[in-house]
Amino acid sequence: MPKELIEAGNSNEIKLGKMKRIEAKGKGILICNVDGDFYAVDDMCTHEDSSLYLGCMKGDLVQCSLHGAKFSVITGEPKEEPGEIPLNTYEVILEGEKIFVKV
Ligand code: FES
């Protein structure tokens, strides 16, 4: 499927260290603010399909609220068990204050 630029709102909606969940192409995607830079990853934890939006962010890591797996929102890599499979990451493009994600 060709990638599309999806509008994901304004950068000032997502405070430092916070995330926003959007729906794009039938899946949930998190837009995360890490020190003023924005990154996008799948919302679904790769351990057992729980929404990472229900968890919390610390630095560049998001922690799943179900069993505690941590993933880098920059690379998608799992950083703490039981996370083993990386999250998909998506390119984020800023145009002024508007955020777009390539999905
Ligand atoms: S579902 Fe996320 S750690 Fe188990």
Spatial neighbors of 60 by CB under 8 A, at least 6 apart, are 32, 34, 39, 72, 73, 74
Q: Is the CB of 20 under 6 A from ligand 1?
A: no
Per DSSP, the three-state class of 52 is helix
Of the candidates 62, 39, 40, the residue with the CA atom closest to the CA atom of residue 51: 62
- In the chain the domains, ranked by start, together with CATH numbers, are 5-102 (2.102.10.10)
User: Counting atoms of ligand 1 from 1, which one is nearest the CA of 45?
Assistant: 2
pLDDT tens for the chain, 103 residues long, are 788 999 999 999 999 999 999 999 999 999 999 999 999 999 999 999 999 999 999 999 999 999 999 999 999 999 999 999 999 999 999 999 999 999 9
Going 67 to 72 to 75 to 81, the CA torsion angle's sign is negative
Q: Which of 42, 46, 47, 79 maximizes ligand 1 atoms within 8 Å of its Cβ, making it the mutation to test the pocket? A: 47
Going 9 to 15 to 20 to 24, the CA torsion angle's sign is positive
Which residue puts its alpha carbon closest to atom 4 of ligand 1? 67
Predicted local distance difference test score (pLDDT) of residue 99? 98
Distance (Å, whole) CA 27 – CA 25: 6
Predicted local distance difference test score (pLDDT) of residue 60? 98
Q: Is 68 left (phi over 0), alpha (psi -120 to 50) or beta?
A: left
